């Protein structure tokens, strides 16, 4: 890795929360930083890797509870960089997957600073690994779709439901707890089978992780029962069924 110089900024993926899933490069950057601006979804085990002498600044945003708006976060990054700090912007999952990275990169570029990205494991991959399933499956899931179900208060979840209701895809709905009912209704209305398998994943990779297999028409009830107020990912599609490797392979062969 190049030397971490004063006035540099790295957008670092913290992964799903388990510090063992952090990349080696991300850990080196945390140890070389002088200040770390971190999200609310960053796991406590990852934060524990930050040396005591490194300044920590929480800039977390959770649904309905925003401690800092995006403009304020951008301004903090610019200020720290121009002050000659070695800046890490620590984001849950992967910075390039619904991580608002473009806004921060643009704000820094406006003052002549190039931000670099250290990728992390995204929640959909981590949830599939925890459940022992695959996001893709020959004959059943030929593509994977990542969708954010988060909207501002009062806004409608305006998605291309016809495109998302693809029986040959696995669709990951990030921040899906509050929209579970809408997702279920719209996908069924767009033609997706009511019995389509769904995996609900909360607190992925953390000690309190909860996984629940259900079906599309039962998703609102299941999500209300398991998710509570936890960060929640929904995986929808035939490939996420809790069938086990051999049975899944048999299903794939029959689907060909």
**Confidence band (pLDDT; 50, 70, 90) for 226?**
confident
**Confidence band (pLDDT; 50, 70, 90) for 192?**
very high
Assess contact for 188 and 163: CB atoms under 8 A: no
The residues annotated with a catalytic role in the active site are 39, 61, 175
pLDDT tens-digit readout, 57-107 = 999 865 555 567 899 999 999 999 999 999 999 999 999 999 899 999 999
pTM, entire model: 0.88
Residue of 128, 130, 37, 125 whose CA lies nearest to 80: 37
Q: What is the DSSP letter of 26?
A: H
Tally the C-alpha atoms within 13 A of residue 137's C-alpha that lie toward its C-beta.
31
Sequence-distant contacts of 252-256: CB under 8 A, at least 24 apart: 252/137, 252/138, 252/139, 252/140, 253/139, 254/139, 255/139, 255/140, 256/138, 256/139
Q: Kind of pairing, strands 232-236 and 197-202?
A: antiparallel
pLDDT tens-digit readout, 136-170 = 999 889 999 999 997 665 678 889 999 999 999 99
What's the first-to-final CA gap in the chain, in angstroms? Answer: 45
């Amino acid at each position: 890795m190049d030397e971490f110089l004063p006035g540099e900024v790295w957008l670092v993926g913290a992964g799903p929360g388990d510090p063992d899933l952090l990349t080696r490069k991300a850990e080196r950057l945390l140890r070389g930083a002088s200040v770390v601006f971190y999200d609310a979804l960053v796991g406590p085990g990852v934060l524990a890797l930050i040396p005591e002498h490194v300044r920590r600044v929480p800039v977390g945003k959770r649904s309905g509870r925003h401690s800092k708006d995006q403009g304020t976060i951008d301004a903090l990054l610019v200020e720290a960089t121009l002050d000659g700090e070695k800046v890490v912007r620590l984001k849950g999952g992967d910075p390039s997957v619904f991580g608002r990275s473009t806004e921060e990169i643009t704000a820094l570029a406006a003052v002549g600073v190039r931000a670099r990205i250290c990728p992390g494991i995204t929640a959909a991959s981590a949830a599939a690994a925890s459940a022992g399933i695959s996001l893709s499956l020959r004959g059943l899931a030929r593509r994977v779709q990542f969708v954010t179900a988060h909207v501002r208060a009062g806004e409608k979840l305006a998605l291309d439901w016809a495109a998302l209701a693809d029986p040959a895809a696995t669709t990951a709905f990030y921040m899906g707890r509050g929209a579970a009912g809408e997702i279920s209704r719209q996908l069924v209305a767009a033609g997706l089978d009511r019995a389509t398998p769904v995996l609900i994943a909360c607190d992925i990779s953390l000690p309190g992780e909860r996984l629940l297999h259900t079906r599309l028409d039962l998703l609102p009830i299941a999500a209300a029962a398991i998710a509570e107020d936890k960060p929640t990912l929904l995986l929808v599609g035939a490939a996420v069924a809790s069938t086990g490797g051999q049975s899944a392979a048999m299903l794939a062969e029959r689907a060909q």
